[in-house]
Amino acid sequence: MTVVAFDFDGTLSDSEMTVLLGERNGTADDMASITERAMNDEIEYAESLRQRCALLEDLPDEEAQAAFDQVELRPGAADVIAALREAGVYVAILTGGFERGVARALEKEGVEVDAIVANRLPVADGKLTGTVEGPLIEGTKDDALEVLTAVVGADRGDTIAVGDGANDLPMLQVAGLAVGFDPKPAVAPACDTIVETMAELQDVLEGEDVLD
């Protein structure tokens, strides 16, 4: 079985969840600045995520949910996901972003994936605590990809990773095929091929006989 692992923010979606959340309490510019540094590998990812989540302390959870409701898949992403699943491919989303935003974006397009590995924003007394929990804070996407291949009985050579930022490098470096989706300059050298649209990605997958 082929496994295709997608990053979410910047890849399947052109939304940036922490920025959408930051727009709810006036910290969006700070969020964007920290995100950019992390994606260019100028700051360690786990530290950048903690810094961004700390800016969200005391944000009412209903405001957080309103931000998650704004998260959308980029044009063509739902079609690629649906085609992969119809072809019997195991589709996973591995993201340092947040489960609720990913789930909402998929729900709006009426598509499902086989696995979502993502982080969570704890809530206490109806407000975000400013902390973050989940497997992709200190954990890296290569480890998550290894677990998925073991679960489904796939060979690592049959994996395809699609991502754009520095935190995608671990899975891009171990996947059988590394696809950069408009990747950051620090990421492009690790990619076997680069695409800028979902239509181009579909062409690559057809060329690899993953899709008919």
- Encode the chain (212 residues) as per-residue pLDDT tens digits: 699 999 999 999 998 899 999 999 999 999 999 988 988 888 988 999 999 999 999 999 999 999 999 999 999 999 999 999 999 999 999 999 999 999 999 999 999 999 999 999 999 999 999 999 999 998 999 999 999 999 999 998 999 999 999 999 999 999 999 999 999 998 999 999 999 999 999 999 999 999 98
Record the pTM. Answer: 0.94
Q: What is the pLDDT of residue 38?
A: 86
How big is the CA angle at 81 (ends 64 and 85), to the nearest 5 degrees? Answer: 125
Dihedral Cα 12, 13, 14, 17, nearest 10 deg: -130
Hey, which residues are catalytic here?
7, 9
Residue whose C-alpha is closest to residue 195's, from 3, 2, 6, 1: 6
Residue whose C-alpha is closest to residue 146's, from 168, 175, 117, 167: 175
CB of 167 closer than 8 Å to CB of 160: no
DSSP summary character for residue 168: G
Q: In whole angstroms, what is the distance from residue 177 CA to residue 174 CA?
A: 8
Burial of 46 (0-12, 13-18, 19+ CB in 10 A): middle
